[in-house]
């Protein structure tokens, strides 16, 4: 029996992109994707993977220009077209109908002022999908159901802010698949999602691409996610594809040195060295019966935690579990309704404005995004110095010496001190944010999802840095995360938070090898692994 060759839905050949000044960004990239296939395009920040993905839509970010190559996209009912040769009007018509895009942040694709049903319907109207309003309404209900959400009118009338992050992302996926495109480009769509929600989103994408024969380009730096969704992997390094192959082959037997470094940097549940819980010393940080409510909604329900000097407690939970609320209450950034936060046995005022300079110096916070925590108009040195200006009486020379000392401690070159945040890489910015938190020599360091948006290799260096600093300085650390795979690499103990309650707490080894609570077992089961 003669087999009929399947035409690839997307074929990219010798794609070249450069800056306006002529610096190459993509250096002859070629790949192809068949209908129903998921190709993962992986690499670190700056490798060119997002530039290559956006080129499939004929889009180039400001300051970049196409320097050659072809991008052939095949509509379901037509001949392949070179996206790069189309006039802009035809290119826009192609996007959404033939080639769709799902961004990392669903907030970028959803209009906060429009109900979700209306937003999906508008996509259909723009691309002329359906012969009538009734036909489009039926498609809206159908595509919501396809992504695992209710398709009824009541759900369609919700606004984006009434949905969880995972629900928002699935609405974004519904918008991308609404017109039944032949190609979809997904740009880090699960970054920042907890493992349970990530599993739902990955399963949704895989089912839709397979069921509807959609070619998917999945851009990511998370190799554990790649193993869960991709059929093939293409590895990018400095604007070139250095390795391409089946997922199993590339992840288990990487041929290129760069791929081997990426795979080695992925945190494993069974990797690392679990610490020894601190014992015999009084806790430096004690949380007692902490409670927070918003109206009738109880966010924290009587939480108790202890962290001792030199110890790292991982606070683990899904989005909405209350873990960030808890860490912000400890820092005084959010007030609590009941209970207490104690530092060395003394109760801390609920709000930062009521805390003394000494108390503020002792408890410092590192935010998830260094973009939002560092002032874009101040140099790194000025940002790191700021807590010294407000919380100490050090003179200018002493402050300058302290800033230089702490930049050295976080392994950040002093040559970067006079640069603005946007002139640093993501990892350098996060080191600067850590330096600012350390500059007052805190007793307690609160780290809120500080590695969630970082490449695996950068994530590994930040985790190593935090572990070394904790050992050197004897700080107590609360490490807030949804990534349980980091546990053995950073923590001594784990506290699992669910619906505002600690449902399990214990040494890392005990929790990972013999979890007592069904919820912990479920989190472990949904954690992607290579």
pLDDT of residue 1 exceeding 70, the answer is no
DSSP code at position 375: -
Q: Which residues pair with 33 in a beta bridge?
A: 10
Whole-angstrom CA distances from 367 to 298, 480, 505 are: 24, 10, 24
Q: Above 60 in pLDDT, residue 276?
A: no
Distance from C-alpha of 142 to C-alpha of 472, rounded to nearest angstrom: 57
pLDDT tens across 437-460, in order? 999 999 999 999 888 777 788 888
Q: Which of 235, 265, 295 is the last residue of a domain?
A: 265
pLDDT at position 499 over 70: yes
Rg of the chain in Å (alpha carbons): 25
Within this chain, do residues 468 and 437 fall inside the same structural domain, yes or no?
yes
Residue 6: pLDDT over 80: no
Span 85-105, average pLDDT: 89
Residue 107, pLDDT score: 65
Q: Are residues 290 and 233 in the same domain?
A: no
Q: Which of 213-222, 256-265, 277-286, 502-511 has the lowest mean pLDDT?
A: 277-286
Sorted by sequence, the CB contacts under 8 Å of residue 235 that are 6+ apart come out as: 42, 43, 241, 242, 243, 244, 250, 256, 258, 259, 262
Burial class (CB in 10 A: 0-12, 13-18, 19+), 482: buried
Residues 396 and 427 in one domain: yes
User: Can you name the residues that pair with 481 across neighbouring β-strands?
Assistant: 316
Give domain status of residue 148, yes or no: no
Mean per-residue pLDDT of the chain:
89
Residues 343, 208 share a domain: no
β-strands 215-220, 501-507 pairing:
unpaired
Residue 449 near residue 368 (C-beta atoms within 8 A): yes
**What is the Cα–Cα distance from 314 to 327, expressed in whole angstroms?**
11
Once rounded to an integer, what is the mean pLDDT over residues 219-224?
86
State whether the Cα torsion 55-59-63-65 is positive or negative. Answer: positive
How far is Cα 432 from Cα 447, in angstroms, rounded to an integer?
Answer: 14
Same domain, 242 and 362: no
Helix (H) or strand (E) holding 481: strand 476-481
Between strands 81-82 and 64-73, the pairing is antiparallel
Cα separation of 263 and 284, whole Å? 37
Residue 118 lies in a domain: no
Are residues 255 and 360 part of one domain? no
Would you say 229 and 206 are in contact if contact means Cβ atoms under 8 Å apart?
yes
Domain presence at residue 425: yes
pTM over the 0.85 mark? no
* Whole-angstrom distance, CA of residue 172 vs CA of residue 181: 14
211 C-beta neighbours (distance < 10 Å), count:
10
Does any domain span residue 147?
A: no
User: Do 232 and 97 fall into the same domain?
Assistant: yes
Tokens found for residue 530: 């290579």
Beta bridge partners of 294: 297
pLDDT tens figures, 415-442: 889 999 888 877 888 889 999 999 999 9
CA 300 to chain centre: 24
374 plus 476 within the same structural domain: yes
Q: In sequence order, which ranges of 241-395 are alpha helices (DSSP H)?
A: 247-252, 257-265, 323-331, 357-362, 370-373, 380-391
DSSP 95: B
Q: What is the pLDDT of residue 3?
A: 46
**What total number of domains does the chain contain?**
2
Residue 496 sits at the vertex; the CA angle it makes with 490 and 502, to the nearest 5 degrees, is: 135
Q: What is the pLDDT of residue 449?
A: 87
Q: And the tokens for 148?
A: 């695992």
489 and 409, same structural domain?
A: yes
- The CATH number of residue 449's host domain is 3.40.50.300
In this structure, is residue 172 part of a structural domain? no
Q: Between β-strands 240-246 and 346-347, what pairing exists: parallel, antiparallel or unpaired?
A: unpaired
Residues of the chain with pLDDT > 90, as a percent, come to 63
At 402-417, the pLDDT tens digits run: 999 999 988 888 888 9
Shared domain for 292 and 396, answered yes or no, is: yes
Q: Which of 91-105, 250-264, 387-401 has the lowest mean pLDDT?
A: 91-105
Residue 410 has, within 13 A of its CA and on its CB side, a CA count of: 28
pLDDT at 4 over 60: no
Q: Looking at the structure, tell me whether residues 491 and 412 fall in a common domain.
A: yes
Which residues are CB-contacts of 282 (< 8 A; sequence separation ≥ 6)?
Answer: 308, 344, 345
Q: Assess whether 409 and 364 both reside in one domain.
A: yes
Last residue of a domain, one of 265, 297, 315: 265
Residue 356 lies in a domain: yes
Q: Which residue has the higher pLDDT, 198 or 119?
A: 119
Q: What is the biggest distance separating any 2 CA atoms in the chain, rounded to whole angstroms? A: 85
Q: Tell me which residue range forms the domain holding 211.
A: 10-108+184-265
Q: 300 has which bridge partners?
A: 292
Whether the CB-CB separation of 313 and 505 falls below 8 Å is answered with no
| Residue 114 falls inside a structural domain | no
The stretch 189-210 carries a mean pLDDT of: 85
Q: How many residues make up the chain in this entry?
A: 530
Is residue 88 a part of any domain in this protein?
yes
């Amino acid at each position: 029996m003669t087999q009929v060759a399947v035409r690839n839905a997307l074929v990219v050949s010798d794609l070249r992109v450069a800056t306006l000044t002529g610096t190459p960004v993509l250096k002859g990239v070629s790949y192809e994707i068949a209908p129903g296939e998921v190709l993962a395009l992986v690499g670190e920040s700056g490798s060119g993977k997002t530039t290559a993905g956006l080129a499939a839509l004929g889009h180039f970010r400001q300051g970049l220009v196409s320097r050659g190559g072809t991008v052939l996209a095949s509509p379901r009912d037509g001949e392949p077209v070179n996206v790069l040769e189309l006039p802009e009007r035809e290119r826009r018509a192609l996007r959404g109908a033939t080639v769709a895009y799902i961004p990392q942040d669903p907030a970028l694709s959803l209009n906060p002022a429009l109900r979700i049903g209306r937003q999906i319907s508008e996509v259909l109207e723009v691309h002329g999908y359906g012969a009538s309003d009734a036909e489009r309404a039926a498609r809206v209900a159908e595509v919501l159901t396809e992504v695992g959400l209710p398709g009824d009118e009541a759900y369609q009338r919700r606004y984006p802010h009434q949905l969880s992050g995972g629900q928002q992302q699935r609405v974004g996926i519904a918008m991308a698949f609404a017109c039944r495109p032949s190609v979809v480009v997904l740009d880090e769509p699960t970054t920042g999602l907890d493992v349970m929600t990530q599993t739902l989103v990955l399963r949704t994408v895989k089912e839709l691409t397979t069921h509807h024969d959609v070619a998917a380009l999945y851009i990511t730096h998370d190799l554990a996610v790649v193993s869960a969704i991709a059929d093939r992997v293409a590895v990018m390094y400095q604007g070139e594809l250095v390795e391409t192959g089946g997922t199993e082959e590339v992840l288990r037997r990487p041929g290129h040195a760069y791929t081997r470094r990426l795979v080695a940097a992925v945190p494993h549940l069974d990797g690392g060295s679990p610490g020894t819980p601190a014992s015999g010393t009084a806790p430096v940080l004690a949380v007692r019966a902490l409670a927070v409510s918003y109206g009738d909604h109880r966010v924290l329900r009587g939480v108790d935690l202890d962290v001792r000097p030199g110890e790292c407690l991982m606070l683990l939970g899904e989005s909405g579990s209350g873990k960030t609320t808890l860490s912000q209450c400890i820092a005084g950034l959010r007030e609590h309704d009941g209970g207490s936060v104690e530092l060395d046995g003394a109760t801390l005022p609920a709000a930062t404005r009521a805390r003394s300079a000494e108390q503020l110096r002792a408890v410092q916070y590192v935010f998830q995004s260094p973009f939002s925590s560092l002032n874009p108009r101040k140099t790194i040195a000025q940002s790191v110095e700021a807590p010294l200006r407000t919380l100490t009486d050090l003179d200018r020379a002493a402050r300058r010496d302290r800033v230089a000392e702490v930049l050295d401690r976080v392994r950040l070159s002093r040559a970067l001190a006079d640069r603005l945040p946007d002139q640093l890489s993501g990892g350098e910015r996060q080191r600067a944010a850590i330096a600012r938190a350390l500059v007052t020599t805190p007793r307690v360091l609160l780290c809120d999802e500080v590695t969630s948006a970082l490449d695996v290799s950068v994530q590994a260096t930040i985790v190593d840095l935090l572990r070394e600093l904790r050992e050197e300085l004897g700080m107590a650390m609360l490490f807030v995360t949804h990534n349980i795979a980091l546990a053995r690499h950073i923590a001594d103990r784990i506290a699992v938070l669910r619906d505002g309650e600690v449902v399990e707490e214990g040494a890392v080894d005990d929790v990972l090898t013999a979890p007592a609570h069904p919820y912990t077992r479920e989190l472990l089961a949904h954690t992607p692994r290579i």
